[in-house]
């Protein structure tokens, strides 16, 4: 077991190097980088140096005059020593910006995760136990519709109905206009109010696949011999389903839950952008489109690390939950 | 069987056959119905209601997208125009209500003298004195006073203003006095409007047509009416609206209490339009429709600004503009978009783009995935290890951020929309092959151990043949299901990117970039027909692929007996 984990971590580190190198190369290859924009601005100030000189100076300042591999090594050295640099776009240290935004993303992701699990798993079980019934058809259709629903379309529909039509929520943002005048409770309520639509969007988008996954796995388990045995020995149906079948369905569900861990931290890029929620997703979107190398590098590396860790965790959990699985 | 080689009697043989016939006849009523695997799958597929619904949706979407573009009478980027009424300030008309003083070219008649003159006129005095000079006041016409001193006329006062058409020299002082005398006198006596005066319709509109051509006629007419005067040794005629014409019929001056000034210095206001405008003011009409020499109809509206005491004449012109965000009509069933293009046609072409991109991306991904997964699964060992690590790297790459970064890179490079679309397909395809590779590898790993593969090895079939002819077909069911499902998700990804402005670009339509109009909150709230149909198309197409994929999965799976 220990050697297995060590080996997996070793491979993960190599993968991480490759991934960060690819991302770094991509960021460097952006033709109109942040630096060029800035040099253009600076050179237009009265009495400023010409554009080329500014460009050269800024490139040297940000280490962009180095070739990509050397630049990558430099970045890696800084990163490993905990020097993440300052965000170009937001003009604050990368970590500060990250700390400021991760909380809201995590809260939203967590809420959506809890809601979607609480709704999807029971419905999935119901669909499986009532296979080919009307309920099953409806649930399957809804699940597929949830998967097919483009986030941006659903979010816009929500906005049209609840914000424009009914006026319950604001169209954008996390804080209302009178946020500063509210007391602590009011501020909290205001933020909750602004988070309703994004969380609903996230929940609806996630529900579909989870529901289907539960249904498929539950069906597989229900076809197993030991379920027939349980029935033949005269156990009540709910005991068969919830004690014998559902427990075994939990095993593949662990994989899904492990797989959704990175999503909690990375923030919902599209949803946050649509609602302009200042979470990591929206922030990183702005950083990416602006060519902000330090922030993007930090953020994407962070996600890669979380992804690898959660994969590892899922595999280990798998062995822990299911004694039949032996890691070799 | 009938002619046996081992020399058995034919009769016995026949008996056996008869026996067989009785027991194992192949008559239709006895035959056990066995379906081919393909037919079995089809039967299972069509029994699934959701799958059939999905198939119907897909067929409709394909017909809509690929046939619709052909049937639609409009092109993908054909713009439509509409006319709007545009009001521009044309002229201002001021009525002079206070007397204006005009001095002779070589005389002086200052403001103080004018003040004295005013007082004298109001008192009805015949003369007044100022600075030792005595001025005699005469009133040759109801609205004209002349001032003379020592027998020479030095100034006149009148509410009539003499103006000249553009390009003519100012008339002489004597001419002005003569003209005002004649016209003022004529206006005072004249009650009924002249015969050819513009008519005012019941709804308060003055309609005139240009008659510049018959100026000589008009002059003759005026002469006949006795509207003539002589000045500077020449004789002039005038009409009732104060146009003064010389012998040849050319207008040399306008004499009227109304001053008309064009808002635009380059505009020359034609005489008859002037006449019409004055008639309209006289009759309190607010609309003037004027047909110029070229036959073009102009319409003017007059409104009085009491504050500045000016009649403002605005010309209403029709301008062609793009028919933006037009509501659904018979001509445009779903209205028009922000560029004045037919929405329904855009939707059809958008569907074409979205579906084609989906297919090409999945084709690239499946091709790469099958090759890599096949090699990996079949050969195993270090090749397998290497390919699987590459797959791991791809799995670990956050694909959405990568696509966004590349999208903004293409934005910065200002790529041609067509080339950009090709790059988009390549990128999406290249980022999504690892999933398929993993699936193919897993399948092949288990298939490799089965007996039929041993048989292929024993019969000496070559390795490429073994992979392509014997392994891949067995992976096909899983592959088809996976591809169908990923078609849906690819279409969503493309739409999301286009929505964010990083995918398919104008002039190409795609369902995503049609919806991206809602980034403008006004469009979102007011023009539902812009984005709701595109969203529904998108949803239906993806739903169709998912339904069909789901149905295929169930149909391929022999365990799912119904």
Mean pLDDT, residues B116-134 taken together: 81
CB contact under 8 A, B538 and A153: yes
Confidence of residue B201 (pLDDT cuts 50, 70, 90): low
Return d(Cα B127, Cα B148) in angstroms, integer.
Answer: 9
Query: Diameter of chain A by CA atoms?
Result: 92
- So what's the pLDDT on residue B363? 94
Strands B133-141 and B127-130: antiparallel
For testing contact with chain B, the best of A152, A293, A308 (most B CBs within 10 A): A152
Return d(Cα A104, Cα A121) in angstroms, integer.
Answer: 25
Contact (Cβ atoms closer than 8 angstroms) between residue A202 and residue A268: yes
The larger pLDDT score, comparing residue B4 to residue B294, is at: B294
Helix (H) or strand (E) holding B433: helix B417-448
Confidence of residue B333 (pLDDT cuts 50, 70, 90): confident
Q: How many helices and strands (H and E) does chain B possess?
A: 18, 16
Sign for the CA dihedral angle at A229, A235, A240, A242 comes to negative
Q: Helix crossing, B417-448 with B472-499: angle to 10°?
A: 150
Report ipTM for this prediction: 0.84
Return d(Cα B404, Cα B357) in angstroms, integer.
Answer: 17
For testing contact with chain A, the best of B389, B405, B500, B533 (most A CBs within 10 A): B405
- So what's the pLDDT on residue B365? 93
Query: Is the confidence at residue A105, as pLDDT, over 50?
Result: yes
Confidence of residue B366 (pLDDT cuts 50, 70, 90): very high
Q: What is the pLDDT of residues B370-391, one digit of tens each?
A: 989 888 888 888 999 899 888 9
Query: Is the confidence at residue B56, as pLDDT, over 90?
Result: yes
Nearest 5°: CA angle at B503, between B498 and B506? 80
For testing contact with chain B, the best of A12, A147, A148, A276 (most B CBs within 10 A): A148
Return d(Cα B115, Cα B197) in angstroms, integer.
Answer: 38
The residue among B309, B265, B312 whose CA lies nearest residue B288 is B312
Confidence of residue B561 (pLDDT cuts 50, 70, 90): very low
Shortest distance, CA B500 to any CA of chain A (angstroms): 9
Shortest distance, CA A183 to any CA of chain B (angstroms): 30
- So what's the pLDDT on residue B426? 92
The residue among B82, B83, B96, B85 whose CA lies nearest residue B301 is B85
Return d(Cα A280, Cα A99) in angstroms, integer.
Answer: 9
- So what's the pLDDT on residue B527? 82
Q: Which residues of B324-342 are buried (b: 16+ CB within 10 A; e: fewer)?
A: bbbeeeeebebbbbebbbb
All residues of chain B having their beta carbon less than 8 Å from the beta carbon of residue A18 are 393
A127: exposed, middle or buried (Cβ count in 10 Å: 0-12, 13-18, 19+): buried
Query: Is the confidence at residue B364, as pLDDT, over 90?
Result: yes
Q: Does B487 touch chain A (CB under 8 A)?
A: no
Query: How far is C-alpha B151 from the geometric centre of its chain's CA atoms?
Result: 73
- So what's the pLDDT on residue B226? 66
Find the CB nearest A152 among B396, B499, B562: B499
Q: Using H for helix, E for strand and C for coil, what is the string for B97-132? A: CCCEEEECCCCCCCHHHHHHHHHHHHHCCCEEEECC
Query: How far is C-alpha B507 from the geometric centre of its chain's CA atoms?
Result: 13
All residues of chain A having their beta carbon less than 8 Å from the beta carbon of residue B396 are 15-16, 19, 304, 307-308
Return d(Cα B251, Cα B265) in angstroms, integer.
Answer: 19
Return d(Cα B403, Cα B411) in angstroms, integer.
Answer: 12
Give the other-Cβ count within 10 Å of B553's Cβ. Answer: 21
CB contact under 8 A, B550 and A269: no
- So what's the pLDDT on residue B362? 94
Q: What is the pLDDT of residues B529-548, one digit of tens each?
A: 888 888 899 999 999 998 89
All residues of chain A having their beta carbon less than 8 Å from the beta carbon of residue B494 are none
Query: Is the confidence at residue B11, as pLDDT, over 60?
Result: no
Q: Taking CA atoms, what residue in A is nearest to B517?
A: A156
Strands B205-209 and B287-291: parallel
The pLDDT mean for chain A works out to 83
Contacts of B228 (CB under 8 A, 6+ apart): B182, B222, B235, B236, B237, B238
CB contact under 8 A, B408 and A291: yes
Shortest distance, CA A246 to any CA of chain B (angstroms): 20
CA distances for B454 relative to A109, B373, B379, B459, B472, angstroms: 50, 20, 15, 9, 16
The pLDDT mean for chain B works out to 79
Find the CB nearest B396 among A148, A164, A308: A308
CB contact under 8 A, B531 and A156: yes
All residues of chain A having their beta carbon less than 8 Å from the beta carbon of residue B535 are 150, 153, 156-157
- The region of weakest confidence among A50-59, A117-126, B413-422, B464-473 is A50-59
- So what's the pLDDT on residue B359? 93
Query: Is the confidence at residue B2, as pLDDT, over 50?
Result: no
In this structure, what token pair is assigned to residue B413? 């490079």
Strand partners, B206: B200, B288
- So what's the pLDDT on residue B7? 44
Q: Does B546 touch chain A (CB under 8 A)?
A: yes
Mean pLDDT, residues B245-253 taken together: 73
Cis peptide bond prior to A308, omega within 30° of 0: no
Query: Is the confidence at residue B241, as pLDDT, over 80?
Result: no
CB contact under 8 A, A303 and B398: yes
DSSP letter string over B356-412? HHHHHHHHHHHHHHHHHHHHHHHH-HHHHHHHHHHHHHHHHS-HHHHHHHHHHHHHH
Query: How far is C-alpha B23 from the geometric centre of its chain's CA atoms?
Result: 79
Q: Where are the alpha helices (DSSP H) in A130-183?
A: 134-148, 151-158
Confidence of residue B9 (pLDDT cuts 50, 70, 90): very low
CB contact under 8 A, B397 and A285: no
Return d(Cα A101, Cα A98) in angstroms, integer.
Answer: 5
């Amino acid at each position: 077991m220990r050697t297995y984990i060590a080996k997996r971590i070793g491979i993960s580190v190599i993968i991480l190097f490759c991934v960060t190198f690819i991302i770094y190369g991509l960021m460097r290859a952006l033709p109109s980088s942040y630096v060029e924009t800035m040099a253009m601005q600076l050179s237009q100030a009265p009495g400023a140096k010409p554009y080329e000189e500014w460009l050269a100076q800024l490139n040297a300042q940000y280490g962009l005059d180095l070739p990509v591999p050397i630049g990558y090594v430099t970045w890696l050295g800084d990163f490993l020593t905990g020097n993440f640099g300052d965000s170009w776009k937001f003009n604050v240290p990368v970590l500060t910006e990250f700390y400021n935004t991760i909380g809201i993303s995590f809260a939203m992701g967590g809420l959506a995760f809890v809601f979607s699990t609480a709704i999807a798993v029971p419905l999935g079980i119901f669909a499986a136990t009532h296979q080919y019934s009307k309920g099953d058809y409806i649930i399957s259709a809804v699940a597929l519709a949830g998967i097919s629903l483009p986030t941006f379309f659903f979010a816009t529909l929500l906005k049209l109905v609840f914000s424009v039509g009914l006026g319950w929520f604001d169209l954008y943002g996390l804080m209302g206009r009178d946020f500063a005048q509210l007391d602590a409770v009011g501020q909290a309520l205001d933020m909750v109010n602004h988070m309703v639509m994004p969380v609903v969007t996230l929940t609806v988008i996630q529900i579909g696949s989870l529901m289907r996954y539960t249904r498929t796995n539950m069906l597989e388990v229900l076809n197993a011999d030991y379920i027939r045995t349980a029935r033949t020995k005269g156990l009540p149906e709910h005991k068969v389903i919830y004690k014998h079948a559902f427990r075994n369905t939990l095993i593949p569900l662990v994989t899904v839950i492990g797989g959704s861990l990175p999503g909690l931290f990375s923030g919902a890029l599209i949803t946050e952008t649509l609602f302009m929620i200042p979470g990591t997703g929206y922030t990183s979107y702005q950083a990416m489109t602006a060519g902000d190398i330090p922030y993007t590098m930090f953020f994407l590396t962070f996600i890669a690390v979380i992804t690898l860790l959660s994969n590892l965790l899922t595999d280990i959990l798998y062995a822990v939950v299911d004694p039949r699985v032996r890691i070799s | 069987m009938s002619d046996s080689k081992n020399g058995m009697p034919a009769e016995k043989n026949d008996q056996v056959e008869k026996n067989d016939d009785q027991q194992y006849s192949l008559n239709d009523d006895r035959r056990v119905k066995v379906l081919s695997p393909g037919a079995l799958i089809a039967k299972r597929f069509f029994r699934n209601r959701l799958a059939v619904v999905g198939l119907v949706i897909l067929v409709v979407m394909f017909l809509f997208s690929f046939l619709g573009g052909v049937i639609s009478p409009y092109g993908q980027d054909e713009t439509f125009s509409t006319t709007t009424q545009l009001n521009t300030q044309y002229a201002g008309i001021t009525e002079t209500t206070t007397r204006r003083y005009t001095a002779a070219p070589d005389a002086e008649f200052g403001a103080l003298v004018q003040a004295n003159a005013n007082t004298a006129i109001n008192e009805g005095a015949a003369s007044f004195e100022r600075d030792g000079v005595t001025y005699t006041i005469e009133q040759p016409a109801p609205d004209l006073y002349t001032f003379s001193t020592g027998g020479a006329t030095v100034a006149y006062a009148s509410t009539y203003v003499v103006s000249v058409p553009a390009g003519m020299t100012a008339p002489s002082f004597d001419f002005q006095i003569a003209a005002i005398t004649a016209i003022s006198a004529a206006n005072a006596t004249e009650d009924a409007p002249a015969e050819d005066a513009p008519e005012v319709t019941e709804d308060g509109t003055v309609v005139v047509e240009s008659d510049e051509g018959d100026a000589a006629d008009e002059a003759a007419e005026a002469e006949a009416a006795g509207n003539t005067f002589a000045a500077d040794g020449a004789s002039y005629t005038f009409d009732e609206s104060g146009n003064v014409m010389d012998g040849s019929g050319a207008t040399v001056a306008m004499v009227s209490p109304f001053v008309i000034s064009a808002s635009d210095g380059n505009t020359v206001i034609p005489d008859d339009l002037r006449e019409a405008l004055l008639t309209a003011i006289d009759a309190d009409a607010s609309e003037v429709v004027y047909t110029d020499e070229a036959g073009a109809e102009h319409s003017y509206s007059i409104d009085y600004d009491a504050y500045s005491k000016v009649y403002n004449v605005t010309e209403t012109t029709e301008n062609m503009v793009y028919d933006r965000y037009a509501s659904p009509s018979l001509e445009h069933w779903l209205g028009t978009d922000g560029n004045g293009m037919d929405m329904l046609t855009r939707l059809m072409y958008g569907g074409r783009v979205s579906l084609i991109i989906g297919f090409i991306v999945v084709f690239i991904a499946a091709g790469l995935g099958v090759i890599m997964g096949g090699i990996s699964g079949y050969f195993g060992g270090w090749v397998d290890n290497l390919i699987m690590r590459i797959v791991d790297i791809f799995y670990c790459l956050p694909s959405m951020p990568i696509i966004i970064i590349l999208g903004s890179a293409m934005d910065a490079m200002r790529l041609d929309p067509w080339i950009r679309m090709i790059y988009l397909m390549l990128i999406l395809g290249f980022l999504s092959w690892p999933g398929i590779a993993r699936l193919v590898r897993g399948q092949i790993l288990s298939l490799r151990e089965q007996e039929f593969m041993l048989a292929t090895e024993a019969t000496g079939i070559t390795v490429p043949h073994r992979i392509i002819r014997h392994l891949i077909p067995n992976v096909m069911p899983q592959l088809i299901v996976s591809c169908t499902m990923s078609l849906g998700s690819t279409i969503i990804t493309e739409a999301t990117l286009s929505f964010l402005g990083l995918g398919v670009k104008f002039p190409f339509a795609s369902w995503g970039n049609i919806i991206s109009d809602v980034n403008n909150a006004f469009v979102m709230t007011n023009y539902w027909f812009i984005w709701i149909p595109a969203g529904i198309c998108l949803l239906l197409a993806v739903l169709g692929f998912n339904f069909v994929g789901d149905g295929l999965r169930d149909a391929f799976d022999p365990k799912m007996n119904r």
